[in-house]
Structure 1
Amino acid sequence: MTSNSSARGMAGAGTAMCLVGSLTAVSATISRYPVFGGQAVRYAAAALILLLVTRLSAGPGRWPTAREWALLAALAATGLVAFNVCIVAATRDTGPATIGTVIATVPIVLALVGPLLERRRPAPAVVLAACVVASGAALANGLGGGSVRGLLLSLGALGGEVCFSLLAVPLLPRLGPLRVSAYSAGLAAPMLLAAGLVTDGSAVLRAPTAAEAAGLAYLSVIVTTVAFLLWYDSLGRLGPDRAGLFAGVIPVSAVLTTVALGLDRPGPADLAGAALVAAGVVVGLRARVVPCEAAPIGIARGPA
């Protein structure tokens, strides 16, 4: 990995997670819009934009194979649909702080599982850094409490968040970030619409107000289209373990966004959490990652 590629990956991952973190504040503008209908609109609009960009791009066409379609469908079903369903259901049994704290462990899971999927051993320094990042993110979220059901649903959201990254790893080398983003968003839209029909019936969609339209546009263009592209590009450049460290930026970005919008002020826990996240990211990115060939784990490689 060249230094330029690594620097671009770090910038992309950090920017992507900052954009995702802004979702919390912006979501307030669509709080009265049907949840799953709004998410379906969000992903459908993002898919249309991404497919248009894909069509206009100069690169050769790459139609997914049957195996890649299966992975894309699994990514959409878990990383997008199940994640949103679990988040919505969890909020009925527990507070946002608990949900955010559970999801904040994403860097640890990616630091452990990501390297194994790439046939190499997890780097102890990266795992330690991920623990520091997760601790900072949890502190910024405010920890919290809730019911067992709420905790289980939060764990389901964590699983969806992990699948969002890990299922994309084998797809990126051939399809690239643009197509993976476009196809997964396109597959997620009808799934979310179906979930909305089950929960809201015919009220799953309605004409949005001006504020709701602006919020949905921001979520579609910035949080989905731009953030997805940046994140998937960074995954290919940094690997899931090191890129995953930037997931801890999400709650910090959420705090900064609410401050920028004049909705809240950061407290000592927010500032301490942000400091821990920053320290963990720096330590993890400076850690030496042993390549696959130098650190085999006894799993036979399949054909390329």
Structure 2
Amino acid sequence: MMFDARERSGAALALGAVCLIGGSVAAATHLHGYPLIGGQAVRYGLATVFLLVWARIRKHTFIRPSPAQMAWVFLLAATGMAGYGVVLVYATSMTSPGNVGVALGAAPLIIVLVQSLLAQVRPSRSLMAGALAVACGSAVAQLSTGGTVQWSAQGFAWSCLALTGVCAVTLLGAPATKALGSLSAITYACALASGMLFLTAVITGSVTGTPVLRRPSGAELSALAFLALGVTTVVFLMWYGAVERLGTGRTGLFNGLIPLASLLALSVTGTATASLNQIAGAALVLIGVAFGLRVRKRDTPPPRAAPAEHVTGARPHS
């Protein structure tokens, strides 16, 4: 099946976003010794500044969200941003980054199932088969050379929480961006996430005596800057641009490439090497994405939207 130019650009945006997200797993390994919650607050605070600068360049007009729209933004900030940033660092400190990728690779399947449940429709066979292939390929890619994956109970639990955050980015972000436009929704969510994390860091510090922030090392500063600009600012703009072009279900398939992008980033940093299992898993993931993308947008269930009375206004360009 041939794809039009809009769909091809959507696939390119999703692929680029996934590559940057994969790098976040490698970046997170450099922040294990840095104040976690305060560091993530700085990350989203910097991302908010970057987004405001970009909005100024684009001469973007922000829409004042309604209470219902703000609820979607709040949920996105709490789970897909603040929550995900914290649990990813915890997960990579309790188990290997490759093991975290096993959980993240199941995101396409979860997204398809939840999306269909909310829309009360049956997912298409092609989309479901593609999601299953992506999830299986991601797991195969993370198998050790001995054919087994070693999980710790805590690492598995935190990896599943990270999976929840990845799914929330797509499932909760779609209604917010549909109502407000991607740039407005992402900026509001980043500002909220930064505020939530700073408040949590201050409260936690007052109880435990842990510092809210400290002067970062060179590696820590580089990791925070990459997470703020690349993984937060650029990724969210690219990802929701892909959702607009491909739909929620097909864009969600690209989540299956996150573990493979993570492996590539870890290989570049010299902390991991690709195995035969990982190459086989990569091939299966690519087949699954290609198969799932055969579904036209009209055949995929629509994302759950905010109440009609709150999205009838003209949508700004972002």
Change (3 A) 1:106 1:133: same
Q: Which residue is equivalent to 1:40?
A: 41
Tell me if the contact between 2:14 and 2:242 (Cα under 8 Å) persists in the aligned partners: yes
Tell me if the contact between 1:120 and 1:290 (Cα under 8 Å) persists in the aligned partners: no
Give the Cα–Cα distance (whole angstroms) in 2 for the partners of residues 83 and 59 of structure 1.
28
What whole-Å deviation, never above 9, does each CA across 1:125-169 have from its counterpart, x for those lacking one? 11111111111112223343222x554443333222212211111
What whole-Å deviation, never above 9, does each CA across 1:37-91 have from its counterpart, x for those lacking one? 2211111100111022223323443121111111111111111222234445556
Of 79-88 and 162-171, the range deviating more from structure 2: 79-88
What whole-Å deviation, never above 9, does each CA across 1:174-233 have from its counterpart, x for those lacking one? 322211221111111122223334166451201112332222111111111111110111
Give the Cα–Cα distance (whole angstroms) in 1 for the partners of residues 111 and 64 of structure 2.
28
Q: Which residue is equivalent to 1:124?
A: 125
Match of 1:156 among 153, 157, 161: 161
1:99-114 residue pairs with structure 2 within 5 A? 99-114=100-115
Tell me if the contact between 1:71 and 1:167 (Cα under 8 Å) persists in the aligned partners: yes
Q: Which residue is equivalent to 2:26?
A: 25
Q: Which residue is equivalent to 1:219?
A: 227
Change (3 A) 1:40 1:141: farther
Q: Which residue is equivalent to 1:63?
A: 64
Count of residue correspondences: 296
Q: After TM superposition, give the deviation of residue 115 of structure 1 in Å.
A: 4.2
Q: Secondary structure at the match of 1:286?
A: coil
| Consecutive unaligned residues in structure 2, runs of 5 or more | 144-148, 313-318
Q: Which residue is equivalent to 1:204?
A: 212
Tell me if the contact between 1:42 and 1:220 (Cα under 8 Å) persists in the aligned partners: yes
Q: Which residue is equivalent to 2:75?
A: 74
Match of 1:254 among 262, 273, 282: 262
Q: Which residue is equivalent to 1:284?
A: 292
What whole-Å deviation, never above 9, does each CA across 1:246-293 have from its counterpart, x for those lacking one? 11111111111222333332111111111111111111111345447x
Give the Cα–Cα distance (whole angstroms) in 1 for the partners of residues 4 and 121 of structure 2.
21
Change (3 A) 1:120 1:302: farther
Q: Which residue is equivalent to 2:151?
A: 145
The list of structure 1 runs, each at least 4 consecutive aligned residues, that deviate by more than 6 angstroms after superposition, is none
Tell me if the contact between 2:29 and 2:92 (Cα under 8 Å) persists in the aligned partners: no
What whole-Å deviation, never above 9, does each CA across 1:231-253 have from its counterpart, x for those lacking one? 11111221111001111111111
Using the size of structure 1 for normalisation, the TM-score is 0.87
Of 192-201 and 276-285, the range deviating more from structure 2: 192-201
Match of 1:238 among 243, 246, 264: 246
Q: Which amino acid aligns with 2:183?
A: L
Change (3 A) 1:256 1:87: closer
Q: Which residue is equivalent to 2:199?
A: 194
Give the Cα–Cα distance (whole angstroms) in 2 for the partners of residues 156 and 31 of structure 1.
17
Tell me if the contact between 2:32 and 2:89 (Cα under 8 Å) persists in the aligned partners: no
Give the Cα–Cα distance (whole angstroms) in 2 for the partners of residues 109 and 211 of structure 1.
34
Give the Cα–Cα distance (whole angstroms) in 1 for the partners of residues 11 and 159 of structure 2.
27
Q: What percent of counterpart residues are identical?
A: 36
Tell me if the contact between 2:98 and 2:263 (Cα under 8 Å) persists in the aligned partners: no
| Consecutive unaligned residues in structure 1, runs of 5 or more | none
What whole-Å deviation, never above 9, does each CA across 1:75-120 have from its counterpart, x for those lacking one? 1111122223444555676554443322221100112222454565
RMSD of aligned Cα (Å):
2.6
Tell me if the contact between 1:112 and 1:241 (Cα under 8 Å) persists in the aligned partners: no
Tell me if the contact between 2:98 and 2:259 (Cα under 8 Å) persists in the aligned partners: no
Tell me if the contact between 1:169 and 1:235 (Cα under 8 Å) persists in the aligned partners: yes
